[in-house]
Structure 1
C-alpha cells in the first residue's frame, strides 16, 4: 500500500465518509477523529476526541502521511447569534488545537490539509475568481473562512506542509447537495432559484478525494488551493442538467426567503454567486475526472 496512515479529523460526516472509503484500499489504516464511538470497519477505525483539548488521540497523528481537518458545524442553519458563534468556534478551535499538538510531535503528519470553503471569494457574476486574482468577499461566511485560514496558517508546524483546500459544493449520490436538489426536481420544483444567473462552483466527490491524494504526491504544492471543477455553471444551468429536460417551477428570491425561514436556513447558500476556478491545480497538472457537470450528474445517477 502506498500510504501508512491517513487521519481524518471530524471525519464522521459526508465528506469524511467519502475520503475514508477512498483511502481504505490505499493505506494501511484510516483513522477518524470523532466525538462519538463507531465500530471498526476493516482498516477504518474511530478514535474519540472532543476537538477542544489534547488527549490520547494526539498519538494518532504521529507518522501520518496525511491529516485532513474536516471539522465545522453545518452552515445550513439560520445565522442567529448562537449559531454564528458555534459555526466559528467549531472551525477555529479544532484547527488551533491540531496546530498546538502537531508543533510538539517528533514525527508529525507530512501533509496537513484544512478543508475550508470556496465561499471565501466575493459574489461574482462578472468574472471568475482564482488564487492569484480572486477578491475576498465580505459578510459572515467570508469572515468565518478568513478567520479559519488565519488560524491555520499561523500555526507553527515546522516540517509540515499545509494546504487550505477551498472546497466547492461537493456532488455525490449518498449525501450532500445533490440528493436534496434531486428531491426538489421530483416535486416539480427544480427550476432556476433566484434569477438563476448566480454561479455554482462544484466538484464531484471522487475528484475531491483524488485532489487530496494528488497533493500527497506533489510536495511543491502548499498554501491556498481552490478545489472546484474547472467548468462552473450558473444556477439555471445546474437545475436544467439535474432536471434532465423536465420542467421545473422557478423559485424567485422572495419565495426562497420565505422558504429559508420555514426550514431554518439562509438564502445566501443558494443566491451567492461562487464563480471559482482551480487555476493552481490545473497549472500544476491535475486532471479532473469529472470536469463537466453533465458527466458528474450522469455518474451519480448510475
Structure 2
C-alpha cells in the first residue's frame, strides 16, 4: 500500500462514545468508511453481544479498541476493580472475535497509555529503552496490554497505542480551559501531602517528586491520533507498543501559560498540592493525573517516517480552541 493511498474497508470501533472514539467515528464516516460501533450504550452493538461482535470483526479491515472506565475518578476499591475489569473484558471480547474470524482483520489497534512508563524528569521514555513504572495506573496499563497480546492470532497484527493526554475540543483541555476562565489557570505545584497506608498499599499514592511545576507533560492532538492509526494501516512493519505522543514534550508550567495565552487571560492563580488535593476530592478525581511527570517520546513513529500534524504545543492548543 502506497504512503498516500486512502485506507478503506470496515472499521470495528470498541469504545465509540468517548472523547477519542466519537471523533474517530465521525472522521471515518465522513471519509466514506463503514464503522460498526460497540459500547455500553448508543452504539450498534453492546459488549454483551459476543455473537454480534464476532460477525462484525469477521472480514473487517481494522479493529480499534478504546473501551474502559475513565481513570478520571477517585481510586476507590470499586472504581479500581471497574477500571481493571472494563479494560480486560472488552479487550478479551475483541480478541475472542478476532480468533474466531474466518477472515481476520489485518490490524487491531488497542488503546494503552503512556502512563505505563515511570515518573520521568531525567530523559524521555521510548519503546526501546523506556522503563515501566509502578503503582495502580501502571498495573492497569500492563494488564490492558497483556490482554491484547494474549494468545496466537497469526492473521492479525496487534498494536498497543500508548497514548498521552489527548488535546482537542473537550477532554482534559476542556477542563483546564474552564479552570483558566475562572482564574485558576496557574501552575499546578507538587508538594508534600500525607498519604494513608491503605492508599500506599493499593498503589494509588502520589509521592512528592517534582518542584516548581516542572512535571513533564507529554501530549498528542486528536488529529494525530487519527493520523497515527491511518499510518499504522499503511505500515505493516509496525506492531507491538507504539508511543502515540507528539515529539515536543512540555511541562505543566508551560502548558498552563500556553492555555492562558490562547484564551487571552493574563493571570492564573497558582495551585499548590494542598489546593489540588482538596479540589480533586471535591470533583472526585486524583492528583496523579496532573502531578506525575510523563516524559515520553514517539521513537517508533518518527523512525518510520510519521509526520505530526501538530508537533508544537502552542499551535495544538490554539487549534483545539478553534483559534487557528
TM-score under structure 1 length normalisation: 0.94
* 1:16-27 superposed matches below 5 A: 16-27=21-32
Matching residue of 1:31: 36
1:65-103 CA-partner distances (Å, limit 9, x unpaired): 111001100111110111000000000111112112211
Secondary structure of 2:44 counterpart: strand
Q: Determine which of 176, 180, 185 is the counterpart of 1:190.
A: 185
C-alpha displacement at 1:56, in angstroms? 2.2
Does 1:61 find its partner at 2:57?
yes
Does 1:13 find its partner at 2:13?
no
Across the two proteins, how many residue pairs are aligned to each other? 292
Secondary structure of 1:3 counterpart: coil
TM-score under structure 2 length normalisation: 0.87
| More moved, 53-62 vs 133-142 | 53-62
Does 1:48 find its partner at 2:45?
yes
What is the CA–CA distance in structure 2 between the aligned matches of 1:283 and 1:225, rounded to whole Å?
Answer: 11
Structure 1 pair 87/141, CA: closer, same or farther in 2 (3 Å)?
A: same
What is the CA–CA distance in structure 2 between the aligned matches of 1:20 and 1:83, rounded to whole Å?
Answer: 27
What is the CA–CA distance in structure 2 between the aligned matches of 1:7 and 1:104, rounded to whole Å?
Answer: 15
What is the CA–CA distance in structure 1 between the aligned matches of 2:288 and 2:236, rounded to whole Å?
Answer: 36
C-alpha displacement at 1:27, in angstroms? 4.0
C-alpha displacement at 1:52, in angstroms? 4.8
* 1:134-213 superposed matches below 5 A: 134-173=130-169, 175-194=170-189, 195-213=212-230
Q: Which runs of no fewer than 5 residues in structure 2 stay unpaired?
A: 1-5, 190-211
Residues 29 and 35, structure 2, Cα contact 8 Å, conserved in 1: yes
Runs of 4+ deviating beyond 6 Å = none
1:83-132 CA-partner distances (Å, limit 9, x unpaired): 00000000011111211221111111110001110000000111111101
Matching residue of 1:41: none
Q: Which runs of no fewer than 5 residues in structure 1 stay unpaired?
A: 38-45
Residues 130 and 279, structure 1, Cα contact 8 Å, conserved in 2: yes
Does 1:297 find its partner at 2:317?
yes
Matching residue of 1:42: none
Structure 1 pair 108/17, CA: closer, same or farther in 2 (3 Å)?
A: same
Q: Determine which of 212, 236, 239 is the counterpart of 2:256.
A: 239
Matching residue of 1:260: 280
What is the CA–CA distance in structure 1 between the aligned matches of 2:49 and 2:81, rounded to whole Å?
Answer: 19
C-alpha displacement at 1:18, in angstroms? 1.1
Residues 69 and 87, structure 2, Cα contact 8 Å, conserved in 1: yes
Relative to total residues, which structure has the larger strand share, 1 or 2?
Answer: 1
Does 1:279 find its partner at 2:303?
no
Residues 103 and 158, structure 1, Cα contact 8 Å, conserved in 2: no
Matching residue of 1:40: none
Provide the aligned C-alpha RMSD in A.
1.3
